[in-house]
């Protein structure tokens, strides 16, 4: 049995989603988060893989916050036999009451929708990763703990939660185990974020695990008032064009920040009374939680906010479909990266309209539909259909719930001295590498490590971490854009490319040659496989 704690990274290593870290010591095992992978289809298939640890030997889960990329595989964990505690703040538990069942319903509806697609008629039916019932069972295992109070997660693991300033209820996790002090940032909010106090934490630690979502980006230092001015300009410009303003939103926090700003602009007379539709049942329920805790939130100002008369919360699918006939409305719908939910419905009806505007206000992971649109695609595929992109594509960066490079640097400096290693997780490769070089130049820690999925490290007291096991290359290859992104790009442009060929016979020849290339490649692969066997 190892004398030092060990950590294995099962997600959010070289990618921003799927947060899950396994800690082992003295025969006991604790997970920090158990999140859903989001992004490309290949990355999302990891959600269907078996857990890389023995669920039955797991003693406790400590959850940093309610976002699905940190909590979204808890129902699967419980469905596969986990019966222990899931520790979280009280506000996180309030949000999970709505978010986990919603995630289960999405899994069921997405499986049903994909099984109905014509291009899948000859394939085996897809089963949901978990169900709404599994999600409700997971919620029942959530136990609340307060901030800044030590508790025994297990006999070997002593834990304390600190405000992370990211979303309602978000926390960083401090652990003492085997004489080693560890600190997990979770997701960190920027300094001076709406609703929440700045992130906090201890210093003088052995090992720190820090998110790096915006490790390569310094955002313009924008106050809440300046941010509202940017939003005001985007709303007025979009509605002047005569079409809808469609905003992909994360149901939790981003929706509520936008509602706060729009309500303030209306209440102060800077905007007329536009029709604002919140077309996300989950966002509606999350907003109710914010309203419940409104007295604890900062920057609320005066006047009605979450129940403003200009805001219309749509519930049923029928109400959502009625928005197809509207123009001149603001439509906020989840999911924030356009990977599921009602936002895809609104994109399908608005992307091709030149008078419409799509406004991105959150992070778009590599391989996601949102990232594809934001990167300038002329056509995209939504639910197996080609959709032209003619709408105005706009972006406001200042709504991020993540700290930028300067915020992260300040957070790390406040944690020093670091007597062991600084791990950089929860970021894309380019972001992490830029941040790593900056921190190395500043001698931020004894060693700076950029872990990969599947890697295991020992965590000594007052010494650098040592890698004990390398990761699985197959898992690591799922990170970022995948062949299905490339196929979608190829297929949406294929018809136009064929039409540019001068004659029908030449087009048929081109198609035949493409078929020959695919067959010859497969034949080459089979010959190489037989030689190596």
Q: Name the H helices within 425-503.
A: 429-441, 473-476, 483-499
Residue 366 has pLDDT above 90, yes or no: no
Do 337 and 68 touch, CB atoms closer than 8 A?
no
Residue 97 has pLDDT above 60, yes or no: yes
The pLDDT value recorded for residue 48 is 93
Q: Which of 120-129, 179-188, 325-334, 519-528 has the lowest mean pLDDT?
A: 519-528
Residue 531 has pLDDT above 80, yes or no: no
Residue 228 has pLDDT above 60, yes or no: yes
The pLDDT value recorded for residue 138 is 98
The pLDDT value recorded for residue 533 is 56
Strands 180-184 and 207-211: parallel
Tens-place pLDDT, residues 164-173: 999 999 999 9
Strands 6-9 and 21-25: antiparallel
CATH superfamily of the 6-218+401-476 domain: Ribonuclease Z/Hydroxyacylglutathione hydrolase-like (3.60.15.10)
Per-residue pLDDT, averaged over 424-451, amounts to 95
Tens-place pLDDT, residues 214-223: 999 998 888 8
* Residue indicated by tokens 């009602």: 342
Please, what is the average pLDDT of the chain?
Answer: 91
Do 387 and 421 touch, CB atoms closer than 8 A?
no
pTM: 0.84
Sheet order of strands, 245-248 included: 311-313, 276-278, 330-333, 245-248, 357-360, 392-395
Q: How confident is the model at residue 498 (pLDDT cuts 50, 70, 90)?
A: confident
The pLDDT value recorded for residue 44 is 86
C-alpha span between 123 and 115 (Å, rounded): 9
Per-residue pLDDT, averaged over 388-398, amounts to 95
C-alpha span between 157 and 160 (Å, rounded): 10
* pLDDT more than 90, % of the chain: 74
The pLDDT value recorded for residue 488 is 57
Residue 528 has pLDDT above 70, yes or no: no
Tens-place pLDDT, residues 52-64: 999 999 999 999 9
C-alpha span between 499 and 74 (Å, rounded): 49
C-alpha span between 403 and 413 (Å, rounded): 14
Could you tell me which CATH number the domain at 224-395 has? Answer: 3.40.50.10890
Tens-place pLDDT, residues 107-143: 998 888 888 877 777 788 889 999 999 999 999 999 9
- C-alpha distances (whole Å) from 496 to each of 54, 388, 404, 502 are 51, 12, 41, 12
Residue 480 has pLDDT above 60, yes or no: no
Identical topology for domains 6-218+401-476 and 224-395:
no
Q: Domain residues of the chain, as ranges?
A: 6-218+401-476, 224-395, 483-521
Residue 174 has pLDDT above 70, yes or no: yes
């Amino acid at each position: 049995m190892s004398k030092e704690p060990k950590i294995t990274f099962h997600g959010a290593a070289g990618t921003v989603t799927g947060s899950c870290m396994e800690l082992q010591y003295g025969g006991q095992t604790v997970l920090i988060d158990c999140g859903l992978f989001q992004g490309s289809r290949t990355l999302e298939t990891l959600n269907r893989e078996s857990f890389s640890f023995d669920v039955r030997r797991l003693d406790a889960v400590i959850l940093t916050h309610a976002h699905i990329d940190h909590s979204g595989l808890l129902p699967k964990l419980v469905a596969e036999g986990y019966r222990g505690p899931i520790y979280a703040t009280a506000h996180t538990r309030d949000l999970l009451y709505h978010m986990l069942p919603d995630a289960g319903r999405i899994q069921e509806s997405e499986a049903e929708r994909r099984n109905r697609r014509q291009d899948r008629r000859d394939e085996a039916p897809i089963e949901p990763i978990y169900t709404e019932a599994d999600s409700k069972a997971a919620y029942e295992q959530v136990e609340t703990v307060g901030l800044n109070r030590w508790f025994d997660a297990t006999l070997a693991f002593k834990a304390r939660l600190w405000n992370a300033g990211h979303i309602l209820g978000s926390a960083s996790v401090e652990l003492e185990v085997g004489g080693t002090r560890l600190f997990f940032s979770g997701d960190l909010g920027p300094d001076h974020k709406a609703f929440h106090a700045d992130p906090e934490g201890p210093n003088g630690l052995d090992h720190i695990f820090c998110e790096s979502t915006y490790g390569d980006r310094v955002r313009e230092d924008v106050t809440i008032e300046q941010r509202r001015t940017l939003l005001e300009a985007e709303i007025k410009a979009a509605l002047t064009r005569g079409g809808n303003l469609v905003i992909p939103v994360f149901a939790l926090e981003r929706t509520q920040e936008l509602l706060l700003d729009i309500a303030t602009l209306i209440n102060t007379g800077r905007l007329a009374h536009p029709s604002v539709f919140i077309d996300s049942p989950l966002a509606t329920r999350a907003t109710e939680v914010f309203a419940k805790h409104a007295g604890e939130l900062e920057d609320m100002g005066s006047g009605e906010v979450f129940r403003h008369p200009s805001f219309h919360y749509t519930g049923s699918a029928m109400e959502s479909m009625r928005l197809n006939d509207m123009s001149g409305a603001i439509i906020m719908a989840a999911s924030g990266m356009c990977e599921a939910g009602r936002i895809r419905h609104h994109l399908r009806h608005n992307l091709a309209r030149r008078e419409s505007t799509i406004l991105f206000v959150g992070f778009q992971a590599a391989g996601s539909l949102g990232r594809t649109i934001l990167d300038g695609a002329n056509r995209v595929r939504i639910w197996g259909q080609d959709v032209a992109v003619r709408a105005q594509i706009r972006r406001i960066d200042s709504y991020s719930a993540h700290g930028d490079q300067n915020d992260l640097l300040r957070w790390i400096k406040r944690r020093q001295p670091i007597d062991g290693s600084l791990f950089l997780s929860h970021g894309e490769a380019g972001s992490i590498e830029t941040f790593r070089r900056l921190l190395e130049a500043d001698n931020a820690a004894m060693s700076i490590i950029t872990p990969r999925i599947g890697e295991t490290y020992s965590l000594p007291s007052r010494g650098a971490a040592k890698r004990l096991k390398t990761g699985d290359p197959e898992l690591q290859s799922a990170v970022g854009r995948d062949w299905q992104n490339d196929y979608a790009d190829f297929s949406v442009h294929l018809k136009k490319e064929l039409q540019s060929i001068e004659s029908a016979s030449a087009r048929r020849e081109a198609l035949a040659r493409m078929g020959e290339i695919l067959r010859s490649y497969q034949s080459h692969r089979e010959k190489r496989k037989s030689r190596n066997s």
